[in-house]
Amino acid sequence: MPKMGDLMDLSNQLSKKMDSTNTDLIMSKKSELQKAHDDMMTWMRDYSEKFPYDYKLPKDVNAVNKQLDVLKEEHEEIEELKVRTLRVIDEAQAMLK
């Protein structure tokens, strides 16, 4: 989540660097940046639906274990999203050098 601002900032910087020789490459990278942003927004929305702000832990051990499984899945998903997001940020920054 802390890198979401970087995604849009890099997209804007790439737009300024676009010319007739690199349009396809830059548009492709801008699309990847937008997808990373959209994927994060989707993950946050889905997570907040599963675990709303006022979420209370269940008192039943089985229900807690089930929620723990969901949290583990969410953790794996956000770690994968983090890797993809950092990769596209690195690639966009390299294009700007």
Q: How much is the pLDDT for 20?
A: 87
Neighbouring C-beta atoms of residue 13, cutoff 10 Å: 14
Domain containing 68: what range?
4-96
Q: How much is the pLDDT for 2?
A: 79
Cβ-count burial 16-51 (b if 16+ within 10 Å, e if not): eeeeeeeeeebeebbebbeebbeebeebeeeeeeee
Domains in the chain: how many in total?
1
* Residue-wise pLDDT tens digits, 19-71: 988 999 999 999 999 999 999 999 999 999 999 989 888 889 999 999 999 99
Closest C-alpha to 81, from 53, 25, 42, 49? 42
